[in-house]
């Protein structure tokens, strides 16, 4: 039996604990939702920045490739002017080569067989190479001839040694002889020089890992021919870009990943602290005697 004059008791301890727990969990849940949303926004922003960077560096590569490949038109014009005769190649090619710092050699391949090279020193092993019959690397040469378009071959290890290179091949047709296929004018661009000219190492300076790759036309497998150091890539964004008669890909991702775990830890700690404070305030308010 209740005693007369006794104060009305406050909420029961069980109800108080339930309401306090509800406040705590509700704040934690809200904080988690906001944190996930903020992390998605941050990731989307980082990916947008990465796409801009990938596009920028891919364009640099394209500019250097196009500038170097333009040398093939100089050689082709020489062949057409002389109606298929190769005249004073060493002097013409030597003078031309000085204007193309990314190009390591210029070549002519009558009937698809490499015959003329500047400079010859160090490239002797390439003389006599039949571009159309070499089953290991003739896909691009055949494509260039069949499409009558400038084609970028490689990258692959040079037969004469000296590293990895890409090779631009322009098919030459002589219109005054019924459009007969004459052969190829060729430029050799060493990949190391190309990437140095395009300053792709700037991606590392900007905090990215990167891989430059293509689908190999013979194996149809992914061929990575340039990459940064610092471990395997996990979730890169991939930017594809056209090269003459082909396609290359540039994959990049931040060295630290897309997720800032330090920031997430800070948000989690802040959410727990806020939840504990609000739960304590709610408990204090509910436990206070009513007037």
Neighbour count for residue 130 (Cβ, 10 Å): 13
DSSP alpha helix (H) spans, 70-165 = 71-81, 89-97, 139-147
Beta-bridge partner residues of 118: 106
CA–CA distance, 139 with 196 (Å, rounded to integer): 27
pTM, whole model, 2 decimals? 0.74
Task: Give the CA distances from residue 215 to residues 22, 67, 237, in Å, rounded to whole numbers and listed in that order.
Answer: 56, 23, 17
Highest mean pLDDT, choosing among 44-48, 52-56, 98-102? 52-56
For the segment 236-291, what is each residue's pLDDT rounded down to a tens digit?
A: 999 999 998 889 999 999 988 776 666 667 777 777 777 777 777 777 776 666 55
Structural domain spans, the chain: 68-191
Sign, CA dihedral 74-161-164-204, equals negative
Taking 70 as the threshold, does the pLDDT of residue 7 lie above it? no
Taking 50 as the threshold, does the pLDDT of residue 123 lie above it? yes
Give yes or no for a contact between 133 and 111, defined as CB atoms under 8 angstroms apart.
no
For the segment 70-119, what is each residue's pLDDT rounded down to a tens digit?
A: 999 999 999 998 888 998 999 999 999 999 988 999 999 999 999 999 99
By residue count, the chain amounts to 291
CA–CA distance, 50 with 253 (Å, rounded to integer): 7
Using DSSP, state whether 26 is helix, strand or coil: helix
- pLDDT recorded at residue 261: 63
Taking 90 as the threshold, does the pLDDT of residue 33 lie above it? no
Show the CA angle centred on residue 83, arms to residues 186 and 139, nearest 5°. Answer: 30
CATH topology classification for 68-191: Beta-Lactamase (3.30.450)
- pLDDT recorded at residue 44: 82
Residues 40-49 have a mean pLDDT of 84
For the segment 219-242, what is each residue's pLDDT rounded down to a tens digit?
A: 888 988 888 876 677 889 999 999
Phi, psi at residue 250, to the nearest 5°?
A: -120, 115
- pLDDT recorded at residue 6: 47
Give yes or no for a contact between 215 and 221, defined as CB atoms under 8 angstroms apart.
yes
Using DSSP, state whether 218 is helix, strand or coil: coil
- pLDDT recorded at residue 240: 95
């Amino acid at each position: 039996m209740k005693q007369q004059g006794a104060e009305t008791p406050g909420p029961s301890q069980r109800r108080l604990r339930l309401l306090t727990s509800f406040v705590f969990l509700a704040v934690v849940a809200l904080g988690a939702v906001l944190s996930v949303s903020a992390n998605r926004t941050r990731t989307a922003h980082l990916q947008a920045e990465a796409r801009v960077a990938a596009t920028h560096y891919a364009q640099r590569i394209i500019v250097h490739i196009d500038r170097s490949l333009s040398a093939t038109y100089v050689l082709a014009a020489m062949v057409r002017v002389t109606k298929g005769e190769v005249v004073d190649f060493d002097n013409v090619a030597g003078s031309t080569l000085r204007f193309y710092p990314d190009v390591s050699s210029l070549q002519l391949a009558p009937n698809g067989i490499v015959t003329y090279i500047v400079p010859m020193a160090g490239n002797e092993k390439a003389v006599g190479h039949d571009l159309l019959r070499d089953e290991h690397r003739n896909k691009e040469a055949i494509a260039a001839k069949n499409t009558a378009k400038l084609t970028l071959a490689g990258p692959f290890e040079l037969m004469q040694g000296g590293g990895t290179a890409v090779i631009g091949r322009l098919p030459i047709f002589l219109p005054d002889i019924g459009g007969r296929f004459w052969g190829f004018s060729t430029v050799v661009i060493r990949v190391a020089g190309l990437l140095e000219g395009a300053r792709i190492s700037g991606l590392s300076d900007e905090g990215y890992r990167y891989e430059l790759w293509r689908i190999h036309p013979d194996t149809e497998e992914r061929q990575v021919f340039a990459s940064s150091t610092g471990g395997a890539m996990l979730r890169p964004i991939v930017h594809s870009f056209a090269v003459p008669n082909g396609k290359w890909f540039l994959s990049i991702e931040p060295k630290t990943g897309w997720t800032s775990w330090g920031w997430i830890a800070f948000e989690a700690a802040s959410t727990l602290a806020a939840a504990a404070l609000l739960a304590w305030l709610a408990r204090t308010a509910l436990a206070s005697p009513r007037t």
